[in-house]
Amino acid sequence: MSVIRQIIHAYFSVIDRYLLREFVLNVMAVISVLWLIYVATRFARYLAQAAVGNLPSEVIFTLLGYSSLGALSLLLPIGAFLAVLLALGRMNSDNELTVIAACGIPDRRVMRNVAIFSISIAVIVALLSLLIVPNVLSGRYELEQKAKMAADTSGLVAGSFKESRDGSWTFYSEGLSHDQQKMESVFIEIHRGDRPLIFRAKQGRFEIDQQTGNKYLILDEGYRYEGRAGDKDFVIAEFETHSLLVEKGEQQQVRERHKSLPTSELWTRGSNKDLAEIQWRVSAAIMTVVLCFFAMRFANTGPRQGRYAGLFPAILLYIVYSNLLGVTRAWVAKGTLSPWLGGVWVHVLMVAVLIALLNQQRLRQRWVQYRQNKGLVS
């Protein structure tokens, strides 16, 4: 720690350390608040699923841990943005920036510290988005699917009948495995009009297709009875393995699975959808740096506007920025926009707007001078 402290004191002045400390304290406070809001929302959602029997209660906190860690890559960009905005806004309101400028410290020094802070956060966001979060989301996805499969059999008691959630079929099992994933000596009746369909199998288990999200019931070593006993078209078929489609996968499940794929696998596959996901992950880091520089401009408010005057336009900018990246992601995935252009145009547009805002006074002076030279104003 003493070596690190010596390095910090050697390369950063008192003003630099003060600015960076304010940024770090504010980002910790903002991230804590946003993280608590996110965790509370997720917890309520998982409780609602557990209340209707779609999710076992014992996995709620594990899923909550996966979700909260996976949310850091989304919370850090806006957290860093608001941290710089709040820190510089308070310093501007308390005239600290004016005193710093009066002491001969140029605005470039403040900009350099914003760059150091934003790039540091951007590196963390890049590591989370590209390496850590996909693994976390993969673990959450697998745990959710196993939990949902367990929920289908959690109410099944050995020697009793249970009806599926939608009431389309009834099944019976003599016993369950310890992990609640497999059923022994299975009897299933599917309700479909006047022609009954019955299955009897030695063993049954639920499986989910990772690509489509479809849920199947896999039966091993059994018989299939179709029709009514005594009818001429009554059919008895013996099977070694038989799969029944229990529930079609939702589009949300497919998207969640795609988000959990490793970045290296997405790059190897190379489809438009895969490249769109990679660009989205990289864009989070780039957006962090660009937003922090925008915060410098929004924090520089007038003397009677207050320290929070730039908060509303800052949030509006973040919404526009993130939505443009989201729309571009959809365009690239559908093939409407070239993957090599992708979100680049959004970042270039925002950087151009940033440069215009940071040089607003100079551009205004040049505009007035131009109009004077053209004789448009006296």
The string of pLDDT tens digits covering residues 182-235 is 777 888 887 766 677 888 888 887 777 766 667 777 888 888 888 776 677 778
Question: Which of 214, 230, 249 is where one domain is finished?
Answer: 249
Q: What's the whole-number average pLDDT of the chain? A: 80
Number of domains the chain is built from: 2
For residue 155, pLDDT over 70 is answered with: no
Same domain, residue pair 160 and 135: no
Do residue 225 and residue 359 come from a single domain?
no
Cα torsion 365, 366, 367, 370: sign:
positive
In a domain, 57, yes or no: yes
90-125 in b/e form (b: 16+ CB < 10 A) is bbbbeebbeebeeeeeeeebbeebbeebbeebbebb
Task: With cut-offs at 50, 70 and 90, classify the pLDDT of residue 252.
Answer: low
Confidence class for position 258, pLDDT limits 50, 70, 90: confident
Supply 17's token pair: 């350390």
What is the average per-residue pLDDT within 247-261? Answer: 69
pLDDT of residue 178: 64
378 located within any domain: no
User: What are 311-330's pLDDT values in tens digits?
Assistant: 888 899 999 999 999 999 88
- pLDDT score of 77 more than 80: yes
Give the end of a domain, one of 249, 281, 305. Answer: 249
Structure tokens at 116: 């150091």
Same domain (yes/no): 61, 127: yes
pLDDT for 309 beyond 80? no
Check whether 157 has a pLDDT greater than 60.
Answer: no
Indicate if the pLDDT at residue 117 is higher than 90. Answer: yes
- Indicate whether 200 and 276 sit together in one domain: no
Non-local CB neighbours of 120 within 8 Å, separated by 6+ positions: none
Residues 6+ apart with CB under 8 A from 179: 150
**pTM for this model (two decimals):** 0.77
Range of the domain at 220: 153-249
The Cα–Cα gap between 371 and 218 comes to 78
* Spacing of C-alpha 62 from chain mean position: 17
pLDDT score for 292: 93
In a domain, 41, yes or no: yes
Least confident residue range of 36-45, 285-294, 334-343:
334-343
pLDDT the model gives residue 33 = 93
Same domain (yes/no): 32, 141: yes
